[in-house]
Amino acid sequence: MYSSLPKSVEVRLSNANGRGIWAKGPIKAGMASFALPPYASALSTRNLTTHCSSCFASSSPDGMRRCTKCRSAYYCDSTCQTNDWGIHKYECTSLQKWFQAAPSSDVPPPSDAVRCLGRILWRIQKNGVDSVQSKELANMHRQLMKRTLHLAHSLVQYLGFTSPADMAEFGFLSAADLVDLISRFVTNTFTITDPALTPLGAAVSPVVALINHSCDPNAVVVFPRTAEDLKRQEPLMQVVAIRDIFPDEEVILYTHLNLRQQTLEETYNFTCACRLCTSINDVDPREAMNCPKNCGGLCPLPSDDASVIRCVKCKSVVKSVEAILDAARVGQEGLDKASSLQDSNPAKSIQLTTNLIPILASAGLPPSSHPLLGLSRLHQTLLTSSFPDPLTQDHLDETIRTVTKNVAGLSSILREGHPVLAIAITELGKLLAVDEPSPEEAHNVEKAGSSRMGAGLSAYPPSGLPRLKLAYDYLLRARKMLLVAFGVVNEGGQVGREVREMVVALEKEIGVFKQGVRNVLEDTPQQKS
């Protein structure tokens, strides 16, 4: 099994992590240890009409080929449609039956998880239950989760199973066998993203699933989108080293940013032993608060079990434990509610994040602490997706301030080469480079900023040339990080190539701006003293 693994890595067993992937030789930061297409993948429902169901490239419905039978799958062209037909011909039939059985015409297709599971089963049927690929699937780690039974019910409905005999051709002798496969799928699912890390759908790869996880990884799975001549292999999962990996060192991927130690143990039966989770002397910045004496140190975030909380730097005792606990609890409830409403009621969602972020900040939580970081990142998403037309200075500057806080929080918990941090810094640089909406409004902001600075206060974000210079500095930093996060060979992926062009354009713009200022000064008569 696992013949697709390159010679630079191998499967080993360890007492600490069990089965995993280990480097046989050195892997430099920014190098892909291996790249391969997923075993099966499916677009999320919201992306079905805007992305190709074969290569996952984005396009408009007017420029894509639509499957005339199921009317759910879109493709870039006839090549992509032909590449996907080997599996889609089964999927197409199931989708048609799904819609025919629907009580109304506005019923959406099954979820990406259900459709991805369907594609897995059809591949098992096509390759054979005794094939190497099927054995790799059966060899994935599994953990029974709450959503497993719900997925099983939806999958049976989608595939039209009416008796255990219908499952026999897929190698299942009973419903328990089907639930077992779904458990392995749920435990090992990867989210396919676009080059800017926006989720597109679900994927599974038994080979990549061999890699163990940590909050402090040395590698990441990315979908950078390679050159156009390789497009037909997309979506391509690339495992890229974000720091140098040494011979006989285990390759480790990251966990989700919002998963805490207890959640990992309860959900995945996984105890993280990274530096963030096991450090005794330092405070985990994801579960911390600022020192009440403002010494610059951090305190562990209070919990129901902790009796006394002290700053690790000055040893000051946190007195308002109950208030902080209440703020964190309200923040978590608000994050859950705002997340559930972000699509159906974005105005209410942005109202929640706007009100809750100051409360958690006033309670002493730093930008890296949960749930403040989660609220801030959601707030950023809501702000960027609701830019008014025309764009106002206040909305743009509020978005920039939010992204700046997120960059500060992410910088405390992620390595410089991590794609999440690289994309966040890219977004900050891009926003700072946006033309200020109104010259008059920008002049008033700059004038107000000068007054504040004269009073000993700082104005952020700046305006004019300082704003452009700041954008240039952030984009330079982003470019360096993107080359690591999405691969040097890939030129930092699609985003890395875009940032390179932006840096060149900003260099020219800053030069023109400086020359314009010099011309104004030269043309202005000198006042006599």
Share the mean pLDDT of the chain: 87
Write out the two tokens for 136.
């790799």
58 has which bridge partners? 51
* Structure confidence at residue 46 (pLDDT): 92
* Structure confidence at residue 453 (pLDDT): 41
* Closest residue by Cα to residue 119 from 103, 132, 130, 133: 133
Domain residue limits, the chain: 9-37+205-268, 40-188, 282-386
Structural element, H or E, at residue 40: strand 40-43
CA distance 333 to 428: 28
CA distance 76 to 64: 5
CA distance 291 to 167: 59
pLDDT at 529 over 60: no
pLDDT at 241 over 80: yes
* Structure confidence at residue 227 (pLDDT): 62
* Structure confidence at residue 458 (pLDDT): 57
Category of 329 on φ-ψ map: left (φ > 0), alpha (ψ -120 to 50) or beta: alpha
* Structure confidence at residue 268 (pLDDT): 47
Confidence of residue 441 (pLDDT cuts 50, 70, 90): very low
Which is more confident, 259 or 395? Answer: 395
Query: Angle at the Cα of 210 (from 207 to 212), degrees rounded to 5?
Result: 145
Confidence of residue 433 (pLDDT cuts 50, 70, 90): very high
* Structure confidence at residue 264 (pLDDT): 44
Least confidently predicted of 163-172, 297-306, 434-443: 434-443
338 has which bridge partners? none
Amino acid identity at 217: P
Most confident of the ranges 188-202, 229-243, 452-466: 188-202
pLDDT at 501 over 70: yes
pLDDT in tens, 108-156: 999 999 999 999 999 999 999 889 999 999 999 887 666 788 899 999 9
Write out the two tokens for 272.
């993280």
Confidence of residue 261 (pLDDT cuts 50, 70, 90): very low
* Structure confidence at residue 521 (pLDDT): 64
Query: What does the pLDDT average to over 15-22?
Result: 88
* Structure confidence at residue 62 (pLDDT): 75
Confidence of residue 259 (pLDDT cuts 50, 70, 90): very low
Q: In what order do the strands lie in the sheet with 199-204?
A: 40-43, 199-204, 190-193
Write out the two tokens for 197.
């890390």
* Structure confidence at residue 192 (pLDDT): 94
Print burial letters for 434-449: b (CB count within 10 Å at least 16), e (below 16).
Answer: eebbeeeebeebbeeb
pLDDT in tens, 326-338: 999 999 999 999 9
Share above pLDDT 90 across residues of the chain, in percent, rounded to a whole number = 63
* Structure confidence at residue 204 (pLDDT): 95
Query: What does the pLDDT average to over 450-458?
Result: 45
* Structure confidence at residue 15 (pLDDT): 85
13 has which bridge partners? 19
pLDDT in tens, 53-77: 999 998 876 789 999 999 999 999 9
- Other beta carbons within 10 angstroms of residue 140's beta carbon come to 18
Query: What does the pLDDT average to over 478-506?
Result: 95
* Structure confidence at residue 165 (pLDDT): 84
* Structure confidence at residue 164 (pLDDT): 81
CA distance 189 to 113: 9
pLDDT in tens, 211-233: 998 888 999 999 998 765 455 67
Q: Give the domain 9-37+205-268 fold.
A: Beta-clip-like (2.170.270)
Structural element, H or E, at residue 263: helix 261-268
* Structure confidence at residue 191 (pLDDT): 93
Cβ–Cβ < 8 Å for 220, 253 = yes
Query: What does the pLDDT average to over 358-382?
Result: 95
Beta strands in 215-282 (DSSP E): 219-222, 237-241, 252-254
CA distance 487 to 33: 10
